[in-house]
Amino acid sequence: MSILEGFTVVELGVWIAGPAAAGVLADWGADVIKVETAVGDPQRHVLRMVGLGDARLPAFEVDNRGKRSVVLDLKSDEGRADMMRLLAEADVFVTNLRLKALHDLGLLPDELRSQFPSLVYGLVTGYGSVGPDAGQAGYDVGAFWARSGAAAGMMPKGESPPGLAPSFGDHVTGMTLVSGICAALAARSKSGEGALVETSLLRSGMYCMAADLSTQLLNGRSGRMLDRSEAPSALMNSYADSEGRYLWLLCLDSDRHWPDVCVAIDQPELEHDERYSTAVVRYKNRRELIAHLDLAFAARTRDDWATRLNENGVFWTPMNTAADVLEDPQVQAAHGFVEIPASGHLESITSVSSPVDFNGQRPLPRRASPQIGEHGAEIAAAYQLETRQSESH
């Protein structure tokens, strides 16, 4: 589904957040021109750090499939002139370069918007474009997780900071930028005027932490992450089965689900036990109840529990590993994966779908991620660029 067919996006991005935003726009049908240096986006080479040379990086494919690549030396007069030629024809410019780099290249928002008033300028920063740390490097671990309070919010008292899923904050921030870009394009269709669309890893992380931060604002304190043995509700908690695989009860309306849980675990008499008969007393005695349910759920396999919980109307979900997700029939039915077609020297591979469908159709990648400068010659011809492009990189 090429909902953005006919739109041209110029990306000057490195690592993940900026390229991820442009990658979604490419999935949705936009022609995304990825401007790179001769050595390319540094994310291309991350496997060198673990001794794998320049092996194909699956994560890079997610963020860069469907794009075209051109090499420009933006420190040269020729390269800067060619960049202006691309931007003159573009609908959207996406970048996550640091502000000093954009300043040095003459690519700050005010400069480009004065030259190209219809351009939608999509900017990702670590911490924002104003303030004492506006120019600092962020990365998702720093700006999204650590600075926003998200990492501390996941850390039970007395424990060390948790391990963090790579690129998680980058992808949240990338999708945030995509939503702003699409809103700006909708507004442009009426006014003809472009816009500066700006987001940051910090602000995106804070938005994800809105419940805790709002509580802090209102009460002067917020909750903390608790060990599962003292979770506020025993019916919104995880439990291990007889094989050590976890499931998660999702009984937010605990008084509604409590009788059904008791039946599902073959202990209907527990419903009226004075220690657990209401949500209030279940909260007071939650540690004891969690320990009791630990023993109950450890008696059967997760497949057995799936049948029993579903038959009794108990809300729950399996806690999947990455390997589990690949085999999950619901993931398959919901089109969670997509085939990236073969392109150039790259074979076809399966990858993660971007998370929005249109009219019941999921966007399909047109090609694999480009080699450095792979499409330079065709882009140079189409935009009359001065920079000489080699046929292959």
User: Residue 159: its pLDDT value, please?
Assistant: 83
Are 121 and 93 contacting, i.e. CB atoms less than 8 angstroms apart?
A: yes
Residue 280 has pLDDT above 50, yes or no: yes
DSSP class of 347: P
Q: Which domains does the chain have, with CATH numbers?
A: 8-209+335-383 (3.40.50.10540), 228-321 (3.30.1540.10)
Instruction: Reduce the DSSP state of residue 234 to 3 states and report it.
Output: coil
User: Residue 157: its pLDDT value, please?
Assistant: 79
User: Residue 58: its pLDDT value, please?
Assistant: 87
Strand-pair category, 246-249 with 316-318:
antiparallel
- The mean pLDDT value of the chain amounts to 94
Distance CA 120, CA 131 (A): 24
Residue 51 has pLDDT above 80, yes or no: no
Residue 93 has pLDDT above 70, yes or no: yes
How far CA 236 is from CA of 180, 229, 292, in Å, comes to 34, 12, 15
304-324: pLDDT as tens digits: 999 999 999 999 999 999 999
pTM (2 d.p.): 0.92
- Model confidence at 391, pLDDT cuts 50, 70, 90, reads low
Distance CA 199, CA 20 (A): 13
Q: Can you list the alpha helix ranges (DSSP code H) found in 3-67?
A: 17-27, 58-64
192-249: pLDDT as tens digits: 999 999 999 999 999 999 999 999 998 888 777 778 998 999 999 999 999 999 999 9
Residue type (1 letter), 371: Q
Instruction: Provide, rounded to the nearest whole percent, the portion of the chain with pLDDT above 70.
Output: 98
User: Residue 393: its pLDDT value, please?
Assistant: 47
Q: Can you list the alpha helix ranges (DSSP code H) found in the chain?
A: 17-27, 58-64, 77-89, 99-105, 109-115, 139, 150-153, 168-191, 201-208, 210-219, 254-264, 279-284, 286-297, 302-311, 322-327, 329-333, 376-383
In terms of pLDDT, which residue wins out, 155 or 278? Answer: 278
Distance CA 22, CA 25 (A): 5
- Model confidence at 1, pLDDT cuts 50, 70, 90, reads low
Distance CA 237, CA 283 (A): 13
95-132: pLDDT as tens digits: 999 999 999 999 999 999 999 999 999 999 999 999 99
Residue 392 has pLDDT above 80, yes or no: no
